[in-house]
Amino acid sequence: MALSWQIAKSTATKPPSASMEEAKHRVLDFFREACRALPVLMDTYNLDEVITQSELRSQIAAAFRKHSAVTNPKVVDMLVFKGKEELQDCLDHSKQRHHLISTYVVGTEGQISLKKLGTVDHGESHFLKNFYQSNLF
């Protein structure tokens, strides 16, 4: 609980980063904060059964890397703020175990996306396939 108050204090509004250097510094500091919170999270949500701490750290690094192409320091600040908000929610136990598992353990690639589901071929004829699409063919 002490850790979540430390993070809450550090989310107090700071002036926006003057340059990408400073923004990068903020990002790396936040990444360190998140990594230090990992043992607490693994314990709170019993994640030891599904993932190891180093795997989880890699997943979080991947989540950071998704936004690596951003060039505007204010956008980076906003992303760090949202990240801190997310971390705060996890530490306060505002989230539940299945939330963390589906976002961090399984990830978005592991979940079934509707686009991947195609149609099943029941071995029907060419005529029937077209007929099911429309009655004008």
Distance CA 93, CA 45 (A): 9
By CB under 8 A, residue 14 contacts another protein: no
Distance CA 84, CA 10 (A): 9
Residue from 9, 65, 115, 126 binding another protein (CB under 8 A): 65
Which runs of E-coded beta strand occur in the chain?
Answer: none
Minimum distance between the CB of residue 46 and another protein, rounded to whole angstroms?
Answer: 19
Distance CA 92, CA 58 (A): 22
Chain residues 27-46 in contact with another protein, contact rule CB under 8 A: 27-29, 31-32, 35-36
By CB under 8 A, residue 4 contacts another protein: no
- Contact (Cβ atoms closer than 8 angstroms) between residue 105 and residue 59: yes
By CB under 8 A, residue 8 contacts another protein: no
Return the residue matching tokens 């353990």. 105
Residue from 5, 10, 24, 89 binding another protein (CB under 8 A): 24
Contact footprint for another protein (CB under 8 A):
2, 24, 27-29, 31-32, 35-36, 53-54, 57-58, 61, 64-65, 68
